[in-house]
Structure 1
Amino acid sequence: MIRPPVRDEARVLRAGDLAEALAVCAVDPVASVLAAARLEVARRSGLTAAGGEVWGYPAAGALTAICWAGANLVPVVPDGSRAALDAFARRALRHGRRSSSIVGERAAALGLWERLAHAWPAAREVRDEQPSLAIDGPPAVAPDPRVRRAVLRDMPVLLPACVRMFTEEVGYSPMVASGGAYEQRVRSLVRDERSFVRPLHDGPSAGIGFKAEVGALTSQVAQIQGVWVEPRVRGQGLSVPGMAAVVHHVRAALAPVVSLYVNAWNEPALRAYHRVGFERVGTYATILF
């Protein structure tokens, strides 16, 4: 086999490369937020604390693309370079599949999967059209005043709500074989004031009527994940003012831009987010294993 020139390979980045890697992400902060969030953790606390490694392309010279390799594989290829995707695929093939998904800007995520599909196990699901939405100003509707930051005493009702949302969205319970990792993730988001809830009613034993979390956070962008409404109260108008409240709280305390992505077929959710004031800024894709 003829190996490509070293320049056409990807390399594992080190702490000294993180500023340049973040500059690549800054080309499109919303599209790259999943990777940039891990890079910012790495810059603050070290790559080990970030929970993965980051690949840079090209191996020599100024970086033009990066790929976060952790629980998710997140390619960031602002110029759409096929050579960068080839290089990331070669490295991923050498490592074998260690991630539960490939996710990111549509062309990059699907392009990477096209290069891996022949060698990796079949994907459980390919979500190839996920509109990416963002809002950088106040919400267009009044926020629900009952939406608040979750606190640790909410965990007995919040954790089951999170499990139900995840199971509805992905098709299996996150508690299976997680070794407590999922519960710890939910708890850490609460501690970091990145989890928001609206109780079903007043009282200490109230269940959760609406919830959402900031799943990925950078200095510029907060990506909302885990949006869920209790099935018994769906259709009662909780989602729009609830999301407006989340936007209000997040922009006041965490980041100036709030983003999310949603499956294209989920027209009710898209309508709700547009009512809040979100606008489409791109497209994501997710390959689930």
Structure 2
Amino acid sequence: MLMAPVRQLGETERGAVERLLDRDPFAAAQVAERVAEHGLSWWRADGRVLGYGARRRVESLCWLGGHVTPVHASAPAIAAFADLLGGEERVCSSIVGSADAVLALWDRLAPHWGPARDVRPNQPLLATDVPPGISADPEVRPVRPAELDRLFPAAVAMYTEEVGVSPLAEDGGHSYRRRLTDLVRARRAYARFVDGQVVFKAELAVVTRRTAQVQGVWVDPAWRGRGIAAAAMATVVRDALDRVAPTVSLYVNDFNVPARRVYARCGFRPVGTFATILF
């Protein structure tokens, strides 16, 4: 069977792309945010949106930038995307998205892009649209721009612990700091400070008209086991629902049982499964 051609999509097909993204607002949130912000013009600098299917009838998408994210990717689309990407040098730091598509894509790309530094095949994707039924922590609030220097070390510690490499390794952390600065200015970074030090933090790393996706949740190791995370997350969820988006979503490693318990207490429910390939 002949595969439909894979092509880089442009503004003329934006409507079809947005309709496809809307079919799964949680799994497609990272791509949806970028399309909303930058469109699909060929000169976009932060990534490309590849499409599979007849013109004006896009069936599957694949975001290609700092990370690779397949969206509604059927088996034929996965094969076609892999044929194209396997002939290019890998520039992404991860493949992330719906588990079935990510793992199928990686099966085909591993001979060309491997080995991976880490494969996380089962990351529950969770969401909620109701305020948590537990008390919120009044000490958790959006971080102020003047507090960026206090937030940054905690953010570096979180990233290093979660991803396995330091964000300072590439360009001395300048890109990571710029990203954090943008989140703080947008009032999308939260923290609890004790004696000037961050003991809890989280960010609304992705925001679309359908959801706010929480990432970067972290508790200072010295404060773990004290039960502060659930109330802190309750504050984040309440504020995000009140001020930012109609739902709040996130994904978590299946082996992180304490975090999954916190999210369950805050009312998050399963809406899918992610997988991540880290390079």
TM-score over 0.5 (shorter chain): yes
The equivalences for 1:193-204 within 5 A come to: 193-201=187-195
Letter in 1 for 2:36: E
Q: Quick check: 274-283 or 53-62, which moved more?
A: 53-62
Give structure 2 stretches of 5+ with no counterpart: none
The equivalences for 1:125-274 within 5 A come to: 125-179=118-172, 180-201=174-195, 206-274=196-264
- Quote the offset at 1:191 in angstroms: 1.1
Q: Secondary structure at the match of 1:8?
A: coil
- Quote the offset at 1:119 in angstroms: 1.2
Q: Secondary structure at the match of 1:199?
A: strand
Distance in 2 separating the partners of 1:115 and 1:25: 24
Q: Deviations over 1:24-58 (max 9, x none)?
A: 11111111112111111123x95655610100111
Letter in 1 for 2:248: V
Distance in 2 separating the partners of 1:234 and 1:155: 23
Q: Which residue of 2 aligns with 1:26?
A: 22
Aligned residues of 1:42 and 1:50 also touching (Cα < 8 A) = no
Runs of 4+ residues over 4 Å off in structure 1: 45-50
Q: Deviations over 1:250-275 (max 9, x none)?
A: 11111111000011011111011100
Distance in 2 separating the partners of 1:200 and 1:259: 27
Distance in 2 separating the partners of 1:256 and 1:170: 29
Distance in 2 separating the partners of 1:246 and 1:50: 31
Q: Which residue of 1 aligns with 2:55?
A: 60
- Quote the offset at 1:125 in angstroms: 0.4
Q: Deviations over 1:151-193 (max 9, x none)?
A: 1111111000000001111111101123511111111111111
Assess, with a 3 A threshold, how the Cα gap between structure 1 residues 94 and 283 changes in structure 2: closer, same or farther. same
2:13 paired with 1:13: no
Q: Deviations over 1:80-119 (max 9, x none)?
A: 5111111111221232211100000111111111110111
TM-score by length of 1: 0.92
Letter in 1 for 2:35: L
Aligned residues of 1:38 and 1:50 also touching (Cα < 8 A) = no
Q: How many residues align?
A: 278
Q: Which residue of 1 aligns with 2:108?
A: 115
Q: Which residue of 2 aligns with 1:42?
A: 38
Q: Secondary structure at the match of 2:171?
A: coil
Identity in percent: 42
Q: Which residue of 2 aligns with 1:287?
A: 277
Assess, with a 3 A threshold, how the Cα gap between structure 1 residues 71 and 146 changes in structure 2: closer, same or farther. same
Distance in 1 separating the partners of 2:240 and 2:15: 25
Q: Which residue of 2 aligns with 1:84?
A: 77
Assess, with a 3 A threshold, how the Cα gap between structure 1 residues 259 and 48 changes in structure 2: closer, same or farther. farther
1:70 to 65, 68, 74: 65
Letter in 1 for 2:180: V
Distance in 2 separating the partners of 1:209 and 1:48: 41
TM-score by length of 2: 0.95
Give structure 1 stretches of 5+ with no counterpart: none
Letter in 2 for 1:104: G
- Quote the offset at 1:61 in angstroms: 4.5
Q: Secondary structure at the match of 2:200?
A: strand
